[in-house]
Amino acid sequence: MSKLEDITGRATQLASQLGEGLKGSLPDKAMKLIETGAAIGAVKTGTRVATRFVRRNPAIAVAAAAGAGLLWYAARQRAKKQAEAPIEGQSRRVEAKRGSARRRSS
């Protein structure tokens, strides 16, 4: 191993130890706040990237939205059909027969 690999390996090890130490010393509420902040940061970054993509490629964005709408519509129609479908099982048809025309006595 070269000295550069030794240094990077040691730096990675120290960073992971520091992270574990911070994780163990912070209260649960603080960790939740940090996780929430990280999630908000990820959403902001994702929104920024998506906005930039849509500005540069509006036709692709419209096509993707139309495709998503079609997929949603197809899934909705399939769910409706499955809800109306008969329950799976076995059945046989019984033909109706006309009875005789005599009166019944009570």
Domain boundaries, the chain: 3-82
Average pLDDT over residues 48-76: 92
HEC assignment per residue over the chain: CCHHHHHHHHHHHHHHHHHHHHHHHCCHHHHHHHHHHHHHHHHHHHHHHHHHHHHHCHHHHHHHHHHHHHHHHHHHHHHHHHHHCCCCCCCCCCCCCCCCCCCCCC
pLDDT digits over 3-37, tens only?
Answer: 666 777 777 777 777 676 666 666 677 767 778 88
pLDDT digits over 74-98, tens only?
Answer: 999 999 988 887 777 787 888 888 8
More confident residue, 41 or 27: 41
